[in-house]
Structures are given as structure tokens and as C-alpha cells.
Structure 1
């Protein structure tokens, strides 16, 4: 069971202007997992009509943040220490889904992965894969 609710995440997200600007929503949060949706918009497209890399990186980062909070509770100062992403194929315009799962949760670090798929394609094949490390503050 998650140690934070979708409603709590929505409250935190109000302070994260980039989440609000992109319209990212949390569909699921569990203990060490999350599913987020980034809605389609013209603002995130790059030349050629595909969704930009920085947009996908933002989705991956926030998905990891939500999964970490799902595992440890409302510790808002958990921070990204590393993000690596592989862009596997260009996603067409449409919603993106970010599915995160924690692979390791320690006292000070959390490590996880995010698979990003395109709802527009709907074949379940990832358009990007990201691994992330988060630092967990000692006074949680």
C-alpha cells in the first residue's frame, strides 16, 4: 500500500509549476510504483512533429518522484541525483504514459526505471526507457 495518496501528490504538484504547465497527472501510485500521464499539446512538439526529449525526461523524473514518495511517504525534499534516458523511437503527437517501478530502496538512495509509452500508438512498445537515482534526506 502506498504511503501517500494521489490527492497528496496533487497538492504537492501545485507548487511544481512545470508539472502544472505540462498538465501531468498521476493515474496510480503504489508502494514503489507510479503511472503518470502527460497529455498531448502543441507546446511539447519539436520540429518533425515528435514529442521533445526534455518533455519525456520531465515525465520520467516526476514519475520517479511519485514512486519514491509512494514508498517513503511525504518527503518532499527527495531529489534526483542521476537520470539516464534512452530514446527508443520518436513518439507521435499524443498522450505519453510513464510507468515507474523502484528497483532498490535504501536508507539514502532509491533506484528505479521508467518506461514511457505512447497512448497514440497503443501497442505498448516503449518510446523511451529511463533509469534514475534519487537521494532521500536523512531526516525523513
Structure 2
């Protein structure tokens, strides 16, 4: 799949279209079939007991696949999540950062399907796995 938006363009898109979350994420690198997105864990991401919250991990997975899709189709602000299932497999680290390794499994005209592995820095095994489907708006 051809890359239409590189890491800098994806981050600029987030700043322009989603300023409320733009500072939360950094595109580490584009891969052959997706991308790697980083979130620096802060106090606002933690739940009582000091672990990263499920909503914070869901957000990281969702944004990672969204950006992986946009990197291939270009800036489509209205591409939307239509389904997500996430498995929380182990306790994430409460300090450092988390990465999301998004992999596009199918990129069609109308739907995109992908998997995302979430990892905490310093932990080799994934802490969560998400499977997402996106609806892609019709070409104008």
C-alpha cells in the first residue's frame, strides 16, 4: 500500500482536525502494513491503583488504527470506527510510555479492518490487543 501521509503529515492532521488529542500521541514510524504510535503515560491516564485506564488504552488503539488508515488513504476526517473489541491481557506499566503497533489487515473502498498490539515500555509482552473496523467515507 502506498503511503499518502507521512508521520509529520499525520501529526499535522491531528493538530488541525482533532486539537483536543493532538498532543497526546507521537507517530514513531510507519511500517509496511501500518504504524507505531506512542503515548507518554501521565497522571490523567491512570485509574485508581495506578494502572493505565482502559479508556486511555482504547483511545491509543483507536487513534493508531485511524492514523494507519489515513496514512494510506489521505486526510479523511470522517472515517469512523464502526466496531472495536479489546482484550486486556496484563497490567500495563504506570510510568513511561505505551506504544500501539497498528496493522492493517484489509483496506477496501468502504471498510478497513486492523489489529493493534499495545505495549508498555519495559514489558516485552503486549498488555492488550484490539481488533477494529472503520467505515471509510465515499470519495467526493
Match runs of 1:1-140 below 5 Å: 1-14=2-15, 15-20=17-22, 23-30=24-31, 32-94=33-95, 95-119=97-121, 122-139=122-139
Gaps of 5+ in 1: none
TM-align CA RMSD: 1.5
TM-score where L is the length of structure 1:
0.90
2:45/2:52 contact within 8 Å kept:
yes
Q: Provide runs of 4+ in structure 1 moved above 2 Å.
A: 29-32
TM-score where L is the length of structure 2:
0.90
Cα distance in 1, alignment partners of residues 86 and 20 from structure 2? 19
Secondary structure, counterpart of 1:99 in structure 2:
strand
Cα distance in 1, alignment partners of residues 30 and 76 from structure 2? 15
